[in-house]
Amino acid sequence: MLAEKIPDWLQVYCEKISSLGAFSGKTANHVLVNEYKQGEGIMPHEDGPLYHPTVTTISLGSHTLLDFYTPISRSDGEAPQTEESRFLFSLLVKPRSLLILQDEMYQRLLHGIRPCDQDTLTDKVVNLSAAGALPGETLTRDTRVSLTIRHVPKVMKAKLILGRK
Ligand SMILES: O=C(O)CCC(=O)C(=O)O
Ligand SMILES: [Fe+2]
């Protein structure tokens, strides 16, 4: 991964979040900006080993439900595992919120966002009361922008790479 300067306005948030201790004393140096139009999602995935095992996300514009899944198990002889059967629970992620995920939730489980226009909240949304929401409530999605802010331990300075023979 190549280092580039983070814009000043965003650096402010990188520093604020890092000062909470999210990256074990390191300062965030990586921001991924995703935009989801109403109805768009992201398929279940893991983010890979490149990052410090903590991910922090600022959400803007709309709520979403972030869904968690067990990984596909490799043992033979088992019935095929559907996405539905691997689904564990969701988090209601509100606009203007900061979500911090780490350890097992981030490293072992897969996360994703179902592509849909509306979310009806159930008891599978495990942070309902903390998010001030009620079971049975239906929330309509709008455009959401997420800023995923992390610390990447290994970055290369562009100068070094370009200077290589
Ligand atoms: O938008 C989000 O909150 C999740 C984004 C995500 O999982 C990713 O870009 O890897
Ligand atoms: Fe992700």
Task: Please state, in angstroms and as integers, the Cα–Cα distance from residue 83 to each residue in 15, 66, 67, following that order.
Answer: 37, 14, 11
Question: In the chain, what are the domain boundaries?
Answer: 34-144
Pocket perturbation via mutation, ligand 1, pick of 43, 58, 66 by most ligand atoms within 8 A of CB: 66
Q: Is the CB of 148 under 6 A from ligand 1?
A: yes
Pocket perturbation via mutation, ligand 1, pick of 54, 66, 146, 152 by most ligand atoms within 8 A of CB: 146
Pocket perturbation via mutation, ligand 1, pick of 31, 148, 150, 152 by most ligand atoms within 8 A of CB: 148
| Residues whose CB falls within 8 Å of the CB of residue 42, separated by 6 or more in sequence, listed in order | 34, 36, 112, 113
What is the model's pLDDT at position 94? 98
* CATH code of domain 34-144: 2.60.120.1520
**What digits encode the pLDDT tens for the residues 11-30?**
999 999 999 999 999 999 99
Residue 155 tokens read as 């970055």
What is the model's pLDDT at position 135? 96
Q: Is the CB of 90 under 6 A from ligand 1?
A: no
Q: Is the CB of 42 under 6 A from ligand 1?
A: yes
SS3 sequence of 8-77: HHHHHHHHHHHCCCCCCCCCCCEEEEEEECCCCCEEEECCCCCCCCEEEEEEECCCEEEEEECCCCCCCC
> pLDDT tens string for the chain (165 positions)?
678 899 999 999 999 999 999 999 999 999 999 999 999 999 999 987 777 789 999 999 999 999 999 998 877 667 778 999 999 999 999 999 999 999 888 889 999 999 999 999 999 999 999 999 999 999 999 999 999 999 998 777 665 555 555
Tell me if ipTM is over 0.90: yes
- Ligand 2 centroid to 48 CA: how many Å? 9
Q: Is the dihedral of CA 17, 22, 27, 31 positive or negative?
A: negative
